[in-house]
């Protein structure tokens, strides 16, 4: 409850910070102006019609009044600073007032621009969130259906080199993922990569004017050097066709065709972090219901024999055939 009240206070302070700042400058300056009167020092002179001079500021209201007219740079000429110190103080207040008003006007302009861009920013976030969800789900499905280990606790752990190697070693491409209609991993993996590549291209094209440069760079990295690059996206089918033409008996575990590593998959982690931050910002800036970024599921159970785990017997037999082929071709 205390945290909620503090958060509400922070929002109010942020929303009205320039008004608060303006008021503080007026109050502090008024206090400084009033000090000479309290100490019976001559700091100001009141000028009345008929050249009647009345020394210093007599009341706090006089000080506040002079502070207000000074900070707005209007000045009516009825109260003037006559000491060097007070002239310096007045000059500082005037400059602070000008700067504060300038900052406030700039803030209003920026807020108006942000309000205009908000619908486009929301649309860009949603498209990037969907892409990131599919990228994470791609590797999540591979891990859960092939690796007989506990599911990683974080995305960084899932896409670590250790777990990438595990997925490459364990996944049998001849097996069938849990999808409809039924098809093998040979078919499903290229389909998903192609689908995500098309999504990425559309995001960069559709949201080029509003997309955060960081998010843009992460997606661009995936398309140019990452798992969605033309070379890596088509390498599995290209290698398979080449092996078929040469009669090379390459094992069917994913690692024999996998071109990705920890570095090439890092943009996925970066995109997920971007989505988390962007969600926090947009949630506080808009009353529209916004979907949360994908969360790595907390899966405690361990499947000893996942459906797509390549058997040791099959892998061993394929490796023997591969060695026999090499021996024949090298003889």
Coil, strand or helix at 46: strand
Q: Are residues 157 and 255 in the same domain?
A: yes
> Can you give the pLDDT at residue 132?
97
Above pLDDT 90, what percent of the chain? 45
Above pLDDT 70, what percent of the chain? 81
Q: Is the pLDDT of residue 50 over 60?
A: no
Residue 95 forms part of a structural domain? no
Q: Are residues 147 and 228 in the same domain?
A: yes
pLDDT confidence band for 115 (50 / 70 / 90):
low
Q: Are residues 156 and 7 in the same domain?
A: no
**The 3-state secondary structure of 244-297, one letter per residue:** HHHCCCCCCEHHHCCCCCHHHHHHHHHHHHHHHHHHHHHHHHCCCCCCCCCCCC
Q: Is the pLDDT of residue 52 over 50?
A: no
Q: Is the pLDDT of residue 170 over 80?
A: yes
Per the structure, the count of domains in the chain is 2
**Which tops the pLDDT comparison, 182 or 300?**
182
Q: Are residues 123 and 78 in the same domain?
A: no
Residue 193 forms part of a structural domain? yes
Measure the CA–CA gap between 272 and 282, rounded to whole angstroms: 15
> Can you give the pLDDT at residue 168?
95
Question: Mean pLDDT, to the nearest integer, of 253-266?
Answer: 91
Q: Is the pLDDT of residue 173 over 80?
A: yes
Looking at residue 72, the DSSP 8-state letter turns out to be T
Residue 102 forms part of a structural domain? no
Q: Are residues 163 and 308 in the same domain?
A: yes
Over residues 83-104, the pLDDT tens digits come to 677 778 888 888 888 888 888 7
Residue 239 forms part of a structural domain? yes
> Can you give the pLDDT at residue 49?
46
Does residue 225 contact residue 265 with C-beta atoms inside 8 Å? no
Q: Are residues 76 and 151 in the same domain?
A: no
Question: Mean pLDDT, to the nearest integer, of 258-270?
Answer: 92
Q: Which domain holds residue 130?
A: 118-330
Q: Is the pLDDT of residue 184 over 70?
A: yes
């Amino acid at each position: 409850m205390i945290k909620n009240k503090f958060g509400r206070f922070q929002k109010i302070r942020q929303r009205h910070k320039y008004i608060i700042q303006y008021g503080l400058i007026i109050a502090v300056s008024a206090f400084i102006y009033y000090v000479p009167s309290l100490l019976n020092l001559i700091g100001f002179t009141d000028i009345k019609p008929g050249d009647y001079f009345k020394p210093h500021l007599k009341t706090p209201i006089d000080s506040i009044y002079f502070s207000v007219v000074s900070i707005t740079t209007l000045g009516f000429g009825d109260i003037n600073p006559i000491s060097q110190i007070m002239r310096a103080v007045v000059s500082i207040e005037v400059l602070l007032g000008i700067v504060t008003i300038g900052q406030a006007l700039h803030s209003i302009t920026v807020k108006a621009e942000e309000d205009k861009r908000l619908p486009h920013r929301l649309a860009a976030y949603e498209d990037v969130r969907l892409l990131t969800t599919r990228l994470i789900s791609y590797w999540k499905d591979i891990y859960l259906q092939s690796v007989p280990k506990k599911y990683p606790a974080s995305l960084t752990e899932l896409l670590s080199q250790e777990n990438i190697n595990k997925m490459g070693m364990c996944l049998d491409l001849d097996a069938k993922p849990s999808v409809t209609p039924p098809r093998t991993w040979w078919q499903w993996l290229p389909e998903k990569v192609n689908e995500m590549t098309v999504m990425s291209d559309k995001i960069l094209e559709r949201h080029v004017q509003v997309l955060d440069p960081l998010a843009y760079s992460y997606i661009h990295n995936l398309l140019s050097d990452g798992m969605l690059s033309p070379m890596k996206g088509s390498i599995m089918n290209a290698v398979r066709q080449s092996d078929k033409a040469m009669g090379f008996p390459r094992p069917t575990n994913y690692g024999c065709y996998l071109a990705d590593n920890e570095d090439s998959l890092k943009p996925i982690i970066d995109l997920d972090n971007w989505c988390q931050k962007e969600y926090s910002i947009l949630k506080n800036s808009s009353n529209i219901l916004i979907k949360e970024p994908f969360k790595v599921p907390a899966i405690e159970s361990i499947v000893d024999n996942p459906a797509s785990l390549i058997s040791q017997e099959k892998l061993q037999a394929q490796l023997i055939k591969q060695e026999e082929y090499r021996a024949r071709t090298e003889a």
